[in-house]
């Protein structure tokens, strides 16, 4: 991601979020597989121009860590940017919901 190779970064961040969760909320291992890679996916998709999926990834991140200042900022950003197309939820969405924003 730091090299601005967003498509490659998306690949690796998606792997991170797809791995089985083996730790408890509040631990570093939990963060590495939940809110953090979803927040990074948000940035990557935004840079790639897919604002609706970036919004979705931010909402997943927010659901895992609602006090995160970046996720809060992004939520406001996407609310203003997308208007009625903004997706908002407070827990990770079922797989079926991902299809609605792609």
3-state helix, strand, coil in the chain (%, to 5): 70, 0, 30
CB atoms within 10 A of CB 90: 8
Query: What pLDDT, on the 0 to 100 scale, is given for residue 78?
Result: 97
Q: Is pLDDT above 70 for 97?
A: no
Condensed to tens digits (0 to 9), the pLDDT of residues 38-94 reads 999 999 999 999 999 999 999 999 988 899 999 999 999 999 999 999 988 765 444
CB atoms within 10 A of CB 57: 29
Query: What pLDDT, on the 0 to 100 scale, is given for residue 21?
Result: 75
Query: What pLDDT, on the 0 to 100 scale, is given for residue 55?
Result: 97
Is residue 39 a contact partner of residue 58, using CB atoms and an 8 Å limit?
Answer: yes
> Is the entire prediction scored with pTM above 0.75?
yes
φ and ψ at 51, to 5 degrees?
-70, -35
Q: Give the length of the chain.
A: 102
């Amino acid at each position: 991601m730091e090299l601005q190779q967003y498509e490659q970064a998306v690949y690796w961040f998606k792997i991170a979020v797809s791995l089985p969760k083996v730790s408890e909320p509040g631990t570093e291992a939990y963060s590495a597989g939940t809110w953090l890679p979803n927040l990074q996916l948000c940035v990557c998709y935004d840079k790639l121009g897919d604002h609706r999926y970036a919004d979705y990834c931010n909402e997943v991140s927010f659901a895992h860590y609602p006090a995160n200042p970046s996720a809060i900022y992004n939520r406001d950003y996407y609310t203003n940017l997308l208007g009625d197309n903004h997706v908002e939820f407070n827990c990770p969405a079922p797989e079926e919901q991902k299809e609605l924003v792609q």
